[in-house]
Amino acid sequence: MHATDEAGKTVSQNDTENQFDVGDRLRLVRQSYGLSQRALAVKAGVTHSLVSLIEKNKVSPSVASLKKILEAINYPLTDFFALSLPPVDQIFFRADELTPLSKGALTLLQVGDAKSHSVQIFHEFYEPGADTGETMLAHEAEEGGVVVAGELEVTVGSQTRILKRGDAYLFNSRLPHRYRNIGTERCEVVSAVTPPYL
């Protein structure tokens, strides 16, 4: 079986079986608030079909979409992933101990439990064509990162730059921003945000 992410990219069911079950968790959270799929969609300003597809694990939501849905019911994204988070006092993390916040064309892995620290660290992977969404992101924080492989188009406010391996960025996250892989190879980024916003 295969699922698709929001960009339409096919995601192997084997890839999702060993991952955090986003669909099942969203369904449980929604039901705990006594909401139908349609009611949650209306509150979040998204389509009913998007909520339905996420709950069936037929689409992998972008972090921005999942955050938007959860914010509609004042449910923190960190709490959403709480059961898969490592112990607060853990210091070292193997690659397979990072917490997946999104999987698919854009894979976002979090180091540790950001809610217990003043910084949020990510290991990010952008497949060719992947981006953070057409809607620009903006939040109360500062963020920066280094491109480890491939290239990434970064837009901050009215400025756009294509960053390649070894290039970096650092800016005030209150400025509208967006990330896109417009290259033909997978892009890898290590980034940090303070204070945590997801």
Summarised one tens digit per residue, pLDDT across range 71-124 is 999 888 777 876 667 777 899 999 988 988 877 789 889 999 888 889 999 999
Of the candidates 19, 15, 16, 20, the one whose C-alpha atom is nearest the C-alpha of residue 82 is: 20
Q: What pTM was computed for the model? A: 0.73
Q: Is the pLDDT of residue 14 over 70?
A: no
Higher pLDDT, 8 or 50: 50
The single residue listed with the structure tokens 């039901």 is 31
For the ranges 68-72, 81-85, 170-174, which has the lowest average pLDDT? 81-85
Q: What is the DSSP letter of 87?
A: P
Higher pLDDT, 2 or 160: 160
